[in-house]
Structures are given as C-alpha cells and as structure tokens.
Amino acid sequence: MPTNKSVSKAPITQFVNCRILRDHKLQREDLWVREGRILDPEKLFFDEEGYADQRVDCEGLIIAPGFIDVQINGGYGIDFSQATSNVRGGVALVAKKILEHGVTSFLPTLVTSPPNIYHKVGTTSTPVLSTCPVSHHCCHLEGPFISLEKKGAHPEQYLRSFQSGGMLDLIETYGTLDNVAMVTLAPELPNSEKVVRELAQRGITVSLGHSVANLSQAEEAVQNGASFITHLFNAMLPFHHRDPGIVGLLTSDQVPQDRTVFYGMIADGIHTNSAALRIAHRAHPTGLVLVTDAITAMGLPPGRHTLGQQVIEIQGLHAYVAGCSVEQALEAASLHPAQLLGITRCKGTLDYGADADLVLLDDAINVRATYIAGQEVWRK
C-alpha cells in the first residue's frame, strides 16, 4: 500500500472545530499545518489521516490569514523614519507588539525625509515578509516625490521633484532600491511617467498619493504600471463630478483589463467618514486594503511624539470597523494586500502550501491568538 510517511516526519498540528476563511467565505473545516505551511489533508490519506501530533481546539473562533499592513510608520515609541543606532531592533520591537492585532507581515513606511535618513534606514530595515521570495523587499517609501499642496504631515523642506529626469533622482534620494517594496509618489510631477514604468518593471509597487492629479493623469500612471492608491480620499483632490481625480480610478474604464487598482483606507472613522468608506467599498470591493498608517504613538498614551522629522501632538486614539461583511473585512486586511504585493503564493490566503501565518478571532473580530509559520506567537 502506498505511504506518505516518507515525505516528512515533521510534526503535524491540526486546528479543529474551525471556521476558516477560504474562497471568500467562512467554511467549517479543520486546518492542518506542517513545517510552517498549510497542508492538504488528502495527501495524508493512507497512513496519516486523522493523525496529528498536536490539536488546537478553535470552537467558536474564526481562522483567517495573518494580516498584512502595507503602511505603518512605527509604533510603541519607534519611528521608522528616525536613523537610530538600532534600526533592526526597532522594527523587531514593532513586529512583536503588533502580533496582538493579528499583523504577521508589514512594510515599515518612511515618510518624506532627507537623503541621509533613507541611506541609513532604508538599507538596514529587517525584512518582514520573511518566508516569501520577496523577503529582500520590505520598505514603503511614502515621499518625498509628492505634491507641495497635498503634503499633509510631510515636511515641506524635504520635498523633491524629478528634476534630473526621474530614476536618477530616486537613486540620489534613496541611495538604493534594493530594499524597497513600494513607493508613493504624485503622478502629476514632470517625468513621473518614466519613474512609474521603471519601478513597475523592477517589481516595485507604485502607489499614487499626496497628489493633485486629475483623473487622466492618474489613469496614465496606472497604464504605466501604478497599482495602488495611498490612503484614498486623504491628501488628494476631493471627488468632483466633472473630474473625480485619483478617486475616479475606482470605476475608471481606462484601467487595463488585467489590472486591479487597490486602494488603502484608514478605517478609523476620523481620516475617512464611514459613509465615504462604504461608497468606496461598494464601488470597488475587491480593491480595498485596510491600513493603519500608524505612527510612533501607537500603543502609547496621548502626548508629543515624532513623525519622521516633525513633532506632533496626539490627543486621542480611535478605532472604527469598516461597514462590510466579516469575510470582506478580513480579506481587505490579508488577501488584498497580498495580491497587491504579488505574494499570494505564500501570504494572505489559507490555500494549501501557503505559509501558516494565522490569526484566530472571535465573532466580534477581536484577536484571540496569532501564529507565524504554524507557531503560536501571541495569545490573549
């Protein structure tokens, strides 16, 4: 009789009594994990079916893929845009702390800064997509190639344009692109089309944000390879019926057929009114990516904190749950960002062979436990 035991003798963990998020819906079935990856139970049929070295009872809980935050500026006193003596240690601290929120992968985000900050911080950040083939791509660089008019909290004195023609400006500013997963820029800047094309060809996600671009400029950027919108509605022209600006990408008929435009939303009820969030989601539900845009103050009491090269005052912290189904909200925090980054082979799904980065939640979407590579790393 055929046997599969020779394939691997590594221990197996079986999550039982589960409701797991698979194929866009919650399904009641067990989840099997071995060697850090989700296992196809049919391959255990002959000798190992029903056998597990460890069982985790998930009665009353939901299992979803670990959350992925593509825009997080820091937290717990750590500012990713500060060139400290221990950049890796700071990233590691935030990575540990956000496990309680179900976040298992993230892109440390640097706001507009002087070149020396990028040269030091951008080349030393610890990869946070550790078991993916894109592990060497970890940073999100938000600026400095953005609009003065829509700079938001970015320091004006460090804003730059593509005055040297494009890519040369990026290298002069960032030092290297080897560690970069995403760049946010304003597509209306002269020579930006060259930059968008080159970044996309290098496999770097191009996001549109902090911009006064009209719809045609935004559509051209997408046609050149841009695929994301940084914090939709914030730091861009407001929607207008004659020219909806970047917001119009959600329903544009000029987006290539094989392209999905994703958009980040800060669903805290403050950055975006809940009605605006629902409008965006109903217009383009498969593009929603939930982001925190968290800063150094996350996890700390109100007071004075840094954001890059500036000091800001935090007077209160708020949270808001998006007005969509549980399944849609969970996919907006896991599947969609993985699709955006092109890493669904290993992250953002519970498909067989994917990394066993898991978050266990109750029906109120409170995180109860977090697993990375099948190992419990946090439990409430």
Report the 10 Å Cβ neighbour count for 269: 14
Q: Is 293 a catalytic residue?
A: yes
Q: Cite the annotated binding site by residue number.
A: 142, 210, 231
Q: Looking at 117-248, which runs of residues are DSSP E strands?
A: 139-142, 180-185, 205-208, 228-229
> Could you say which DSSP state residue 76 is in?
T
Dihedral class, residue 260 (left if φ above 0, else alpha if ψ from -120 to 50, else beta): beta
Confirm if 348 and 339 have CB atoms less than 8 A apart: yes
Q: Cite the annotated binding site for Zn(2+) by residue number.
A: 142, 210, 231
Of 22, 15, 102, the closest CA to residue 58 belongs to: 15
H or E segment to which residue 171 belongs: helix 167-174
Rounded to 10 deg, the angle between the 215-223 and 192-201 helix axes is: 30
Residue with tokens 């194929």: 23
Q: How far is CA 118 from the centre of its chain?
A: 20
Distance CA 254, CA 151 (A): 27
Q: What is the DSSP string of 293-355?
A: -B-TTTTS-SEEEEETTEEEEE--------SS-HHHHHHHTTHHHHHHHT-TTTSS---TTSB
Distance CA 224, CA 226 (A): 6
Catalytic residue among 79, 293, 355, 357: 293
3-state secondary structure at position 217: helix
Instruction: Supply the residues annotated as catalytic.
Output: 293
